[in-house]
Amino acid sequence: MTKSDEFSQLDTPLETSASPALKFEVFARCSTTKARASKMHLPHYTAHTPMFMPVGTMGSIKGITTKQLEALDCHVILGNTYHLGSRPGPELLERAGGLHKFMAWNRGLLTDSGGFQMVSLLKLANITEEGVEFENPHDGKKMMLTPEMSIGLQNAIGADIMMQLDDVVSSLTVGPRVEEAMQRSIRWLDRSIKAHKRPTEQNLFPIVQGGLDERLRTISAQELVKRGSPGYAIGGLSGGEAKGSFWRMVTLSTDILPTNKPRYCMGVGYAEDLVVCSALGVDMYDCVFPTRTARFGNALVRTGSLSLRQGRYKADFTPIDKDCDCSTCKNFTRAYLHTSVTKETTGCHLVTVHNIAFQMRLMRDIRYAIVRDQFPAFIRDFIKTRFGKTVPLWIVESLKSVNVDLTVPDGSGYTATPIEDDFQKEPNW
């Protein structure tokens, strides 16, 4: 696999920030959009951003070893605090020397707070100022997750980056509950900072909240900046809201958050979202989508995805992507994968390898384009390949806000016609 070396000709960063456990160096900025390419020095690894982080809920990605993740050029992976806190549990992880040693992973780790799972996956009992009270799915007993408990679990896990426990509400929620959750999340951040026992070894990121309300998002981001954290997350999105609202909340947040610190947009993983949000100034992403969709036989390509279960691939002896250098594309055909993706774990494993490789290559291409100050041209080429002549309106509007107007012909004569739909499955020619 190709390794990231896009900064090899750059010696002096344009802007830096340094915290006890994180140094962030911006080496290149797009002269048109808000995109930047940076190095993020973590205790266990130096990650290149913009970057995508695959999700390993239980400290592993289904069917993939840590050595394979290294070969795929993954810099940081994400673990789930709730699941890791339940199994193997904090005591065992501490005895093992932390999750890095336990899972034999010597690169970056980020853990979420566990709060999202309390709300989305479990039977929610109550949210109070103390924390989130929920019903344990194993024995039905009531349990409480507080900001202090979340930080304690994450300190035991030992991730390079930890997330604060926030009061999570659906992105579709409106009314006073949104402001209540935003203000409570700020108070819980302060409790999390006090509870953090390893500030020289682990970084605590706060989370911008406020739903789809510009005023609340602004207040949240401004309050978080006052805490001087090593980096910041943009949360409460990718929950079914209209894409027009999504991108506006992202760009509002990046306009307020410091330019010399990393910005993490949580739960984002579609290729077009990664390109657009990078143009809006985001540095980090995570999502279960690439690995989860692989288990259903869907392989990611620049035109969207291939459903390898379909009969059209039964006698297709080409690789998933002729331009991909992953081990799956080098050694296996679409025809072989068609016979195995829904019947054998091998097929799911092979498509997972490809999908992670696809995400890593996309992010690497984004970084190269920023470093060479060719990102607007990269965007137009990507959009043309992915969508063809019709493009979702939210993409056209979001890119126009950072001076990339897809409705104006480029050198090849390509222009995009906006459509109201938020999603377009295949290119339209």
User: What digits encode the pLDDT tens for the residues 363-372?
Assistant: 999 999 999 9
Catalytic residues: 112, 286
pLDDT in tens, 301-331: 999 999 999 999 999 999 999 999 999 999 9
pLDDT of residue 117: 67
Q: Write down the pLDDT at residue 344.
A: 87
CB atoms within 10 A of CB 385: 13
Q: Which mean pLDDT values do the consecutive 10-residue runs of the chain (429 residues) have?
A: 82 97 98 98 98 84 90 95 79 88 94 75 75 75 88 95 94 94 97 98 98 98 98 94 98 98 97 98 97 96 97 97 97 97 89 98 98 98 97 98 97 95 91
For 38-56, write each residue's pLDDT tens digit.
999 999 999 999 999 999 8
Q: Judge whether 325 and 331 are in contact, CB under 8 Å.
A: no
CB neighbours (10 Å) of residue 219? 19
> How far, in Å, CA of 368 to CA of 355, rounded?
20
pLDDT of residue 392: 98
Q: Whole-angstrom Cα distance, residue 16 to residue 210?
A: 28
pTM of the model: 0.96
Question: Do residues 87 and 58 make contact, with C-beta atoms less than 8 angstroms apart?
Answer: yes
In the prediction, which pLDDT does 407 show?
98
The DSSP call for residue 311 is: G
Of the candidates 401, 420, 349, 406, the one whose C-alpha atom is nearest the C-alpha of residue 378 is 406
Amino acid letter for position 267: G
CA distance 168 to 166: 6
d(CA 89, CA 305): 37
